Structure 1
Amino acid sequence: MPVYFTSLNSGSNANCYYVSNGVTALLFDAGLSCRETEKRMQRLGLDIKQVKAIFISHEHSDHINGLEVLSKKHQLPVYVSEKTWNNTNLSVDVQLLKHFRKDEVVMIDELQVKCFSKSHDAADPFSFMISCQGVNVSVITDIGHACKNVIRYFQQSHAVFLESNYCETMLANGDYPYHLKRRVSSDEGHLSNEQALDVFLSYRTQQLQFLILSHLSKNNNTPQTVDALFQPHAGTTKVIVASRYEESELFSIDGITTAVRSTMLKKKKQQPDQNQLSLF
């Protein structure tokens, strides 16, 4: 049974990642509106009725903006650490609210989710490794540096959504105030392109089939910059840069061979939503 995964959106405007075994699906973060989440899933041929839960990494708005409506409309359980939840100021049906703890394994049908802590400027930030049929897909974004947890689960993964937030030169020469530059580049901020490449080169294994570079800064990075940096080193790993404006292709791994399937029609590049705010 293949494991399917895609980025519905990735960036400081909104984040939402999808993982499924074809029967049960999970969403990781809910930064998109409910309507936009439904629309992008529909374009990929995905049934939102298969989504059984939403996992929240941390309380920053680009990860939770669509959570209340999405959970209420589709009666989706929300898995989130208690400390993170207490910092959201959101309201979800108490019957749908589920708390996880550090290093806890949550089972949703045949999908196993390992919840592990990371370094970021939030109350209690987490990343996730989703496992099914021997395939591991990890969502590792919003990290200030590659801590031991990040390295451990990166090495176990067949596919990784890995943050590549900013170009160090662009950030240094950009117009951000000094305190914001320090925040972004700190050990509790975001991972730069160069740091992400170092993780890839230092810790990739032969089983890593997909590297989906995620959470790119609008002001301090470009997809072209990231792609040009990583592609010469890709080797047997398929390297993709996730968009902050549209869903990626739907990818799948069956544990033996790798298949890439696109269900999207060629279309004009979407323009940014003027209502979406850039944080970084």
Structure 2
Amino acid sequence: MELFITSLNSGSNGNCYYVGNEQEAVLIDAGISCRETERRMARLGLSMHTVKAIFVSHEHGDHIRGIPQLAKKYQLPVYITPGTLNNSGLPQLGFPLRPLRGYEPVWVGELCVTAFPKRHDAADPHSFIVAGRNTVVGVFTDIGAPCEHLIHHFKQCHAAFLEANYDEEMLEKGRYPYFLKNRIRGGNGHLSNQQALDLFKTHKPAFMSHILLSHLSKDNNCPDLTKELFSLHRANTEVIVASRFEETPVYSVRA
């Protein structure tokens, strides 16, 4: 099955990732406003009426702040773990809430969405794979360190949104206070360029067609640097840097 993917926004100012087929789609997180989500999808020729559900990775504001208005307006079911919901501050009325549990597949039409645990400083954080028959897309951001869960699923992906949050030298020499630097690089924060690159070099399947480098830090990374690092090892994989200011093009992915 052919799947269509785009990053509507990626960064600490908001995260929202689209995966769909011809009939239906899901959003992984909704951290930008309803209006901006609609605008960006319209510019891409995508319709909000194909979106059938929102899946929530964790409760931080840059992943959930757009949910109340977006889910209420379109009556979208929001799949969220109990731990994340309890720490999110999201309203529990106005739109459908659905329980999310790791390794329990959720079917949205012909899309199968499966969450699995990740390392991040949140109540109950999860990453996702979205499958359309044999085509698999991963959404792997806000990860403190690669773990066996991540490696196992990364190996299955025809395309992936993969966090490359910071350059280690830029973070070390940058203006952030020491405690924040340690939070970012301490194992439950974010993936560095090097950690993401090591995962990519070691575990990228030969059939991976697209890698969208995601959640880059505004202060501690450089999009051109990150793209160059990955492009040296890309083989037949297209390397895209997901912007914190605008949507990416829509990419077609198939097994």
**TM-score of the pair, normalised by structure 1:** 0.90
Q: Deviations over 1:240-277 (max 9, x none)?
A: 1100000001001232xxxxxxxxxxxxxxxxxxxxxx
Percentage identity across paired residues of the two chains: 52
Give the AA of the match of 2:32: L
Distance 2:95 2:229 in 1: 46
Q: Determine whether 1:246 maps to 2:246.
A: yes
- 3-state SS of paired residue (1:39): helix
Q: CA offset at residue 92 of structure 1? A: 3.9
After superposition, residues 71-220 of structure 1 pair within 5 angstroms as: 71-93=71-93, 96-220=96-220
Instruction: Label 1:12 to 1:135 Cα distance change in 2 as closer, same or farther (>3 A).
Output: same
Distance 1:100 1:133 in 2: 21
Give the AA of the match of 2:115: C
Q: Deviations over 1:4-42 (max 9, x none)?
A: 000000001000000001101100000000000000000
Distance 1:232 1:203 in 2: 15
- 3-state SS of paired residue (1:205): coil
Distance 1:90 1:44 in 2: 29
The residue aligned with 2:227 is: 227
Q: CA offset at residue 104 of structure 1? A: 1.2
Indicate conservation of the 8 Å contact 2:158/2:254, yes or no.
no
Indicate conservation of the 8 Å contact 2:72/2:94, yes or no.
no
- 3-state SS of paired residue (1:4): strand
Distance 1:58 1:225 in 2: 28
Instruction: Label 1:42 to 1:94 Cα distance change in 2 as closer, same or farther (>3 A).
Output: closer
Instruction: Label 1:236 to 1:73 Cα distance change in 2 as closer, same or farther (>3 A).
Output: same
- 3-state SS of paired residue (2:129): strand
Instruction: Label 1:91 to 1:160 Cα distance change in 2 as closer, same or farther (>3 A).
Output: same
Distance 2:145 2:248 in 1: 25
Indicate conservation of the 8 Å contact 1:112/1:132, yes or no.
yes
Indicate conservation of the 8 Å contact 1:71/1:92, yes or no.
no
Give the AA of the match of 2:250: L
Q: Determine whether 1:16 maps to 2:16.
A: yes
Distance 1:168 1:176 in 2: 13
Indicate conservation of the 8 Å contact 1:57/1:80, yes or no.
yes
**TM-score of the pair, normalised by structure 2:** 0.98
Distance 2:92 2:69 in 1: 9
Q: Determine whether 1:69 maps to 2:69.
A: yes
Give the AA of the match of 1:4: F
Distance 2:29 2:204 in 1: 25
The residue aligned with 1:27 is: 27
Indicate conservation of the 8 Å contact 1:6/1:18, yes or no.
yes
Give the AA of the match of 1:214: S
Distance 1:31 1:100 in 2: 18
The residue aligned with 2:7 is: 7
Distance 1:198 1:250 in 2: 26
Residue segments in structure 2 that go unaligned for 5+ positions in a row? none
- 3-state SS of paired residue (2:87): coil
- 3-state SS of paired residue (1:150): helix
The residue aligned with 1:274 is: none
Q: Deviations over 1:151-202 (max 9, x none)?
A: 0000011001000000000000001111000000011010000110000001
Indicate conservation of the 8 Å contact 2:72/2:95, yes or no.
no
Structure 1 runs of 4+ with >4 Å offset? none
Q: Deviations over 1:125-156 (max 9, x none)?
A: 00000001210000000001110110000001
